[in-house]
Amino acid sequence: MVPETYQVDAGGHITIGGMRIEDLAAKFGTPLYVFDYQTLVNRLTMFQSAVSQSAVPGMVAYAAKAFFTVPMGRLIQSLGLGLDVVSGGELFTALAAGIDPQRIMFHGNVKTPEEIAWGLDRGVGYWVVDSLDELDQLDQAAGERHQEAAVVLRLTPGIDAHTHAFIRTGHFDSKFGFAMAEGISDRAVERVLNARHLRLAGFHAHIGSQILETEPFLANAEALLRYSRSWYDQKGWWPEVLDIGGGFGVRYQPDDDPPNPAAIIQTVQSLLAEWTPATQRPPRLIVEPGRSVVAEAGVTIYTVRARKTTPGGHGYVAVDGGMGDNIRPALYQAVYQAEIDGKVHSDRRIPVSLVGRYCESGDVLIPQAHLPAADVGDRVVVFGTGAYNYAMASTYNRVPRPAVVVVREGQPTVWVRRETWQDLITLDNP
């Protein structure tokens, strides 16, 4: 829930990465995204060493959508990981960071002609294809370049991961992938096997996010393996990669108890070995963690600007950020925990709604927070905001987006500078 270097002193003041919240807020202003470098590196290396424990080869393709910037890309590259991108913008950032294109999986249910052309020209490693239309577009673009594109078909295995509907993707009715039902995925496999400029490299299924159980991951891997075996039996084709996506859950609340991703990865690698025909090599396992790498590394610091109590006695604490920097509570009722810096040890807590500054009643960061009495000027720290917060941030109400600062052993480094009012008008009326 909190970054690894989180500490609270006797006065209830919070330190992360050896830096006091108060000093960070004073130096960089609020709202402020803060990432703990140690947590980031430890999560990335945990995944990297998990896939390297077995004789079955593996690759970690960090899901850029969770949080991505050029410095993050450099960190990924320096640790030898791969990357999952879903847009030309993510690919552009990855290449600017020096990530080896061969270690990039290009995902997304829509890829524009420009993105396909650019990805082929830059030598993207794998194309995760989501529709028959995309297969045709990729085949044609690869043919024009006298290339053969390595295709990983995105499948929906009909597995229901018990998570919020908006982040559930493995069911047959999903907008993503080819359903493994009614012959839909079979037609896609046939199309790739018969295409002139495509090579069927393997299958992928990402069944959802914030999954707090082990079974759906194993069921997903088994579904992909069973399906691969059926193609081996029919055509002698066997995958070179199997990609089980991301989705590893994290602790947003004290009683969240996510399974250990390393144990899941090792069990899946054994399954890959078990299901591989004697004449073939086990496919390379690809995992695409996003949230589980960055969520708990990040916190957001806000400043309390207003308080009020409604006639029914409902207390509100309003801060200087909100849905512009964290849309997740409004989008899918995501839950967060918060503390007030300097009051962490207070045992007199009151139920309040922690709300933002945006012109929407739904701009509520934590509907039922239990916080010590807040004063104007207090710094509120919301935990677990490293994933899909900065990545989904907007300039709604023309509020500039916060800076991203990474802290390490008492030293802050700005990864993204704070947007300014001037930035907001820079693209207007060119």
Ligand X SMILES: Cc1ncc(COP(=O)(O)O)c(C=O)c1O
Active site residues: 359
Which of 15/292 has CB closer to ligand X? 292
216 lies in the site for ligand X, by CB under 6 A: no
Using CB under 6 A, pick the residue from 248, 252, 383, 415 that binds ligand X.
248
Least distance in Å: CB of 290 to ligand X? 3
Is residue 239 classed as helix, strand or coil in its secondary structure?
Answer: coil
Residue 268 phi/psi, 5° resolution? Answer: -65, -40
Q: How is residue 182 annotated by DSSP? A: T
Which of 73/246 has CB closer to ligand X? 246
Using CB under 6 A, pick the residue from 292, 300, 326, 389 that binds ligand X.
292
Site for ligand X in 173-212 (CB under 6 A): 206, 209
Using CB under 6 A, pick the residue from 73, 247, 298, 412 that binds ligand X.
247
User: Can you say which residues are annotated as belonging to the binding site for pyridoxal 5'-phosphate?
Assistant: 247, 288-291, 388
User: Can you say which residues are annotated as belonging to the binding site?
Assistant: 247, 288-291, 328, 332, 360, 388
CB 205 within 8 A of CB 188: no
Report in angstroms the alpha-carbon separations of 198 from 185, 231, 384: 16, 17, 41
For ligand X, which stretch binds (CB under 6 A), given 45-53, 89-97, 286-294, 341-349? Answer: 286-294
Site for ligand X in 36-75 (CB under 6 A): 63, 65-66
What are the b/e assignments for 122-147, b being 16+ CB within 10 Å?
A: eebbbbbbbbeebbebbbebbeeeee
Using CB under 6 A, pick the residue from 13, 111, 291, 357 that binds ligand X.
291
Which of 288/341 has CB closer to ligand X? 288
107 lies in the site for ligand X, by CB under 6 A: yes
Residue 370 phi/psi, 5° resolution? Answer: -115, 100
Q: How many residues lie near ligand X (CB under 6 A)?
A: 17
Using CB under 6 A, pick the residue from 84, 130, 134, 139 that binds ligand X.
84
Residue of 270, 249, 355, 356 lying closest to 58 (CA atoms): 270
Which of 246/384 has CB closer to ligand X? 246
CA 126 to chain centre: 19
CB 204 within 8 A of CB 192: no
399 lies in the site for ligand X, by CB under 6 A: no
Q: How is residue 248 annotated by DSSP? A: B
For ligand X, which stretch binds (CB under 6 A), given 9-17, 135-143, 288-296, 336-344? Answer: 288-296
Which of 206/401 has CB closer to ligand X? 206
3-state secondary structure 305-361: EEEEECCCCCEEEEECCCCCCCCHHHHHCCCCCEEECCCCCCCCEEEEEEECCCCCC
Residue of 115, 231, 208 lying closest to 161 (CA atoms): 208
Question: CA-CA distance, 83 to 65, in Å (whole number)?
Answer: 10
For ligand X, which stretch binds (CB under 6 A), given 245-253, 263-271, 321-329, 408-416? Answer: 245-253
For ligand X, which stretch binds (CB under 6 A), given 241-249, 274-282, 363-371, 404-412? Answer: 241-249
Using CB under 6 A, pick the residue from 289, 322, 329, 384 that binds ligand X.
289
Q: Which residues bind ligand X (CB under 6 A)?
A: 63, 65-66, 84, 107, 206, 209, 245-248, 288-292, 387
